Amino acid sequence: MKAYSNRDYALSEQYFEQAFKLGTPAKHELYNAALISSMNKNQENAFKYLRLAIEKGWDDPVAIVQNEGFLYLHQFDQWKNNFAAIEKGVDEPLQKKLLMIYANDQKMIQNISSINPQIPNYKAVLDSMVVIQDSMQNAHLQIITQALDTKGFISKLMVGTKASQVPFLVIQHSNLTTQKKYFGLFKDAAERGLFDNKLLALLEDRILVFEKKEQLYGSQLFYDKSDSTYYFYPIADIQHLVQRRQSMNLNSIQEYAAMYNIVWSLKDYLKNLKKSKRRLKKGFDKKFTE
């Protein structure tokens, strides 16, 4: 870029802004735009593009904290709150632990799903596997809570994209007390652009349904064995569901329902609402929810 080589950072920044209006930028383009904005001393755009780059999957802390082009940003609280803690680069020991937890969980899920329901002792085998799974998940939860208590929110920049998803997955499938304890940590990270709003919505809905309250975003369902069908737990203020889902960058309720072989219909939802309220009153069945 000629403007960049001429050190015309203001013009370079304008070029990026114009290009972004024409299409969806990739993570490396957002990173470069953040760098140019920082060198142009545009604090607002620099942090905005860095946040978007991280959301897109940028997980190279060294390229951020050791790049002299970002020195201008070091004076601001946003830098101190979001990047100062990861100046040593990726936390490899923690990354390995998180990836091990993910691999163990996936293997256990595969083992359980591979059990043939036609075998004579199917229920006994399934029950024994579930006991093992619960024990393993409790052990994983201890590792995750200890990491969150000592290190705070674990971002992509600390452990990489894949490993950074593990704390949420473990907390999402834990107990209500644990979920409520760490919800504020995830919410704060989302407000700083370090955590996906979509995942925050899932966790908030999970907590609400655990508390036998109506969910906000329609992410939680239960499975009715009598008709082999998924149903939505009750949703608060159903008339504004579309707007709430959009505010958290969630896909449409029609697309989400299709994942469970449901054709979304407000009429059908209202028709099944009594059944949903009865199930909510019975308590949360986490076996059949996301």
Which residues pair with residue 223 across a beta bridge? 230
Mean pLDDT of all residues in 37-49:
92
- Tell me which of 86, 119, 137 is where a domain ends: 86
The predicted structure's pLDDT at residue 87: 67
- pLDDT computed for residue 85 by the predictor: 67
Spatial contact of 286 and 223, defined as CB atoms under 8 Å apart: no
- Please give the pLDDT value at position 43: 93
Mean pLDDT of the chain: 88
Residue 58 is which amino acid? W
Least confident interval from 87-91, 100-104, 153-157 = 87-91
Which domain does 226 fall in, by range? 221-288
Question: How would residue 44 be classed by pLDDT, with cut points 50, 70 and 90?
Answer: very high
What is the reported pLDDT for 288? Answer: 43
In 208-269, beta strands by DSSP E: 221-224, 229-232
In a shared domain, residues 96 and 189: yes
Q: Confirm if 286 and 240 have CB atoms less than 8 A apart.
A: no
Count: domains in the chain: 3
Closest Cα to residue 97, out of 64, 60, 146, 63? 146
Residues 182 and 125 in one domain: yes
131 and 185 housed in the same domain = yes
**Is 104 in the same domain as 52?**
no
Q: What is the pLDDT of residue 217?
A: 98
pLDDT digits 0-9 by tens, 12-21? 888 888 888 8
Tens of pLDDT, residues 122-131? 889 888 888 8
Query: How far lies 53's CA from each of 30, 73, 84, 181, in Å?
Result: 5, 16, 17, 29
Q: Please check the confidence at residue 112 and state whether its pLDDT lies above 50.
A: yes
- pLDDT in the model for residue 65: 78
pLDDT of residue 7: 65
Note the pTM of the prediction, 2 decimals. Answer: 0.75
Task: Say which CATH number the domain at 30 has.
Answer: 1.25.40
pLDDT, residue 290, reads: 46
Mean pLDDT of 155-166: 88
